[in-house]
Structure formats: C-alpha cells, structure tokens
Structure 1
Amino acid sequence: METTIASPRPKSARAVSTESSDRLGLLRAALGYIEERHWDVVLGTSVERENGVWSCSCGDRRCAAIGAHPAMRDWHKRISAQPSRAYEWWTEHPQGSIILPTGRAFDVLECSEEAGLLALARLERHGANPGPVAAAPNRRLYFFVLPNSRTKVATVLAGLGWGRTALDLACRSAGDYIVAPPSRMGIRGQVQWVRGPAEAARWLPDPEEVLAPLAYACGLHRAR
C-alpha cells in the first residue's frame, strides 16, 4: 500500500512577516516571558547607529542609558502581560529592548559581574538553587529572587554583619526594572542569560538563600 505523506502546512502571512521582522528574537523572547513565565513586560528604547554615531531611540543625545530604559514616560501604566500587546509593540519596534518591571513577579539583586560569578560558583558548589541569573554587557549580574524583598534584604544583610558596609549590591524592587535578554544594551552588546528561567532555575529563591555568598563576594571585591 502506498503511503501518503502530508505536505507541511504553509505558514500564514502573519507568521512569515513576524519571523522576518523579529531577526533579533525580541518578540519571541517577550512572548516567552509572558506565556511561559507569566512575567509582565514593557517596550524599551532601542540602540541606533547613524554615520558611526551611537544613539538612543528616545532622541536624547545625552542619554546615559542607550537602548536600556522604557520607551514611554508613563511606562508604569503601560505594563502588560497580554501577548497581543507584546506582538503590537515588537512588530512596530522590532529592535526595542525588553523591559521587565521588578517588584511584581520577582525582585532582582544586582551586583558586579566579578562578585556575582564568585557567588554563583559558591552557590552551585553547595547545591543551592541560585534561580535565574542574567548578565548585562556593562558587567553587571542580575539574580532573580522572590518579590517584595527589599526590607528582607536589608534585615538579612544587617544580621550577616553587612548592615553598615557600603556593598555594591542593590535590590531592584517595586517601581524599578531591568533590561532583559536578548535586548541590546548600549553599544557594548546584548543582555544574556547565565542561568535561564528554564526548568533547572524555574523556582525563584528566597533572597535569604543567596544573600550570604553574594554579600561575601561583594565584600571581598570591595576590599581589593
């Protein structure tokens, strides 16, 4: 008996158009954050280059965060977890960075790349769950932890003896944001996942689980 093999179903014009305009994968990533992680997103600015000069799509020639801030001044009111809104934003602005508001589904502990990698190695060596970790091209690391952590972070650091020490360790919580992979950030390159929000790093840790090695690494780096 002859076997009939079905021809692959042709892609819709919308799907083909989306793939061709999403060369940087930003729309795909934004939809993934919404649909797989249930994270909110906001459209960010993009990095532009004309006649060898780098600039931000916001139009401010002195912008200190090229391609790395929300595209809209009232971004707090534009936060969305609707796939249709993400499709609209990144179809119209395919190079716009992905902004993830903090203090909602997660907070972020930010530190230097050197200190963060040292802390990450210690956490993994002890079998702890560091959660998702992203690296920005400005040599900063982002550790994703449970939301509403700002007060707890201050309390835990004080309990660890770091309360009066100026550490290069910040908690990004309500009212703040980070630039998410694979967005381009400034002229240095893209934000990348060190540990992506996949199954291995799916559950966000309590900040208390990662603060001790982070504070130690930040203190060690500060002493150099």
Structure 2
Amino acid sequence: MTETIPATEAAQIPQQRGASLLETAVRYAEERHWDVVPGTWLEAADGVQRCSCGDPACAAPGVHPASGDWATRATGSATVARRLWQEHPAASILLPTGRTFDAIDVPETAGFLALARMKRMELTLGPVTLTPDRRMRFFVLPGAAAKVPELVRKLGWSPRLLDLTALGEGAYVAAPPTRYGTRGAVQWACRPTAANRWLPDVEELVSPLAYACGRDR
C-alpha cells in the first residue's frame, strides 16, 4: 500500500509504506541531504532468517554495518546510493550521525513522555525514529554528543544514571523502513517534513528528555 502524502509536502517527506529500501535511501540522500550507507540484510537459511554477516549469534541481525569502512562508504549522492542498493536491494539503511545531525537515544516510554511534554511546550522537533527494540532517536543539530553530559549535569542529573545517549561522530541510526531481524521495522514517530528540515539544538530538547528518562528509571 502506498502512503498518501499531501502534494505540498510530497517532495520533502520520504515515504515509508510501499517504498523499496532502494528508493527510500535515494530519497533520503536527494531530498534530506543525509548521508546513507547500506548495512547488512536478512537471508533465509534452513527456514530461518539470519544476518548476512554470517554470524548465527548476531546481536543485531540485518541492522548493522556490513564492513569496517562503512563510514567512508557513506554517501550523500542519490546516484551513488542508487548504485549501492542496486547491488544489495535488501540492505538496511544506515544514517551516520555526527554529520548533518546527531541523535539522542532514549527508551520508548521516556521518548513518548518527552514528546507529549515537548508538544505542550510548543518546541520545534526534528524527525524521530522508533525501533522495534523500543528505542527512540531524536534528530538534533550536530555537536550534541559533546554537549549532552554537561547539559544533563546542569539539570541536576548524573549522566551515567540516565538511559539517555547522544549518538555523534562514528555512530549511526537505522532509518525506516529497515527491519530489525524478525521483530519488525523502524518507523517514524515524527516524520521528516518541510517544517522540520531545520533541526533543533540539543539544548532545546535535553530538559524534557532528561526529565522523562528520570521518571522512567
């Protein structure tokens, strides 16, 4: 099924339902200017879905980098992205952090609590992903990874006691519609739109996120 998108926003919103991994990866590069890199994928072996990395005990089947040089292979070119996914159409879509955005990773329960509070505060949000392992990633301006520990301390929390992590340079997030093993696919909790092309600074979001994580302990 193809998702209906208002004509005024169609060029800014990557489709989730009915879109192939290849076309979605191309749209992320072309329309959002995000670097993309293909990760591993699932393969059927003896009736069981296993990770293409070949490790039967893989902790993240189908949703991790396929090679050690993944960061240098990431591309912001739609043409190159198309070629990469033509080689492996089932490859997961990974978005390196620390480039056009960082991501704040929190538990799902805390993430939804924070979202509700942010809407009441009328804060501007960037895209937010929701993963089948019940994590949410809030996209913010690059540089958040270096700021978060001190910002959390200023709010009166110990960074090591909160389940709140900033993903910056050298890390990545899996993007919709990437599948997490057999558990389901990554989804958008807040979709990319024309309105959230400009990302918030982590300083705008850290207070409701830390508060929600503190309540979720």
Instruction: Name the TM-score class by shorter chain.
Output: 0.7 to 0.9
SS in 1 for 2:216: helix
Paired residues for 1:33-182 under 5 Å = 33-163=28-158, 166-182=161-177
Please say if residues 26 and 98 of structure 1, whose CA atoms lie closer than 8 Å, have aligned partners that are also in contact: yes
Please say if residues 27 and 78 of structure 2, whose CA atoms lie closer than 8 Å, have aligned partners that are also in contact: no
Pick from 195, 204, 217 the counterpart of residue 199 of structure 2: 204
Residue 141 (structure 1) shift: 0.3
How far apart, CA to CA, are the structure 2 residues paired with 1:98 and 1:195?
Answer: 18
CA deviation profile, 1:90-125 (whole Å, cap 9, x unmatched)? 112111000100000000000110000000011012
- Provide the residue aligned with 1:6 in structure 2: none
Residue 201 (structure 1) shift: 2.2
How far apart, CA to CA, are the structure 1 residues paired with 2:172 and 2:42?
Answer: 18
The TM-score with structure 2 as length reference comes to 0.88
- Which has the larger Rg? 1
Please say if residues 47 and 185 of structure 1, whose CA atoms lie closer than 8 Å, have aligned partners that are also in contact: no
Indicate how the Cα distance of structure 1 residues 66 and 164 shifts in structure 2: closer, same or farther if over 3 A, else same.
closer
CA deviation profile, 1:160-203 (whole Å, cap 9, x unmatched)? 00135511111000001111111111210110111111123222
Residue 81 (structure 1) shift: 1.2
Structure 1 runs, 4 residues or longer, greater than 4 Å off: none
Structure 1: tracts of 5 or more residues without a match: 1-22
CA deviation profile, 1:36-81 (whole Å, cap 9, x unmatched)? 1111011111122333322101111111110111112211221111
CA deviation profile, 1:116-144 (whole Å, cap 9, x unmatched)? 00000110122111211110111100100
How far apart, CA to CA, are the structure 2 residues paired with 1:207 and 1:185?
Answer: 27
Please say if residues 54 and 187 of structure 1, whose CA atoms lie closer than 8 Å, have aligned partners that are also in contact: yes
SS in 1 for 2:209: helix
- Provide the residue aligned with 2:212 in structure 1: 217
Indicate how the Cα distance of structure 1 residues 98 and 165 shifts in structure 2: closer, same or farther if over 3 A, else same.
closer
CA deviation profile, 1:16-52 (whole Å, cap 9, x unmatched)? xxxxxxx751111111111111110111111223333
Equivalent residue pairs, number: 200
How far apart, CA to CA, are the structure 2 residues paired with 1:219 and 1:213?
Answer: 10
- Provide the residue aligned with 1:185 in structure 2: 180
Provide the aligned C-alpha RMSD in A: 1.3
How far apart, CA to CA, are the structure 2 residues paired with 1:203 and 1:183?
Answer: 24
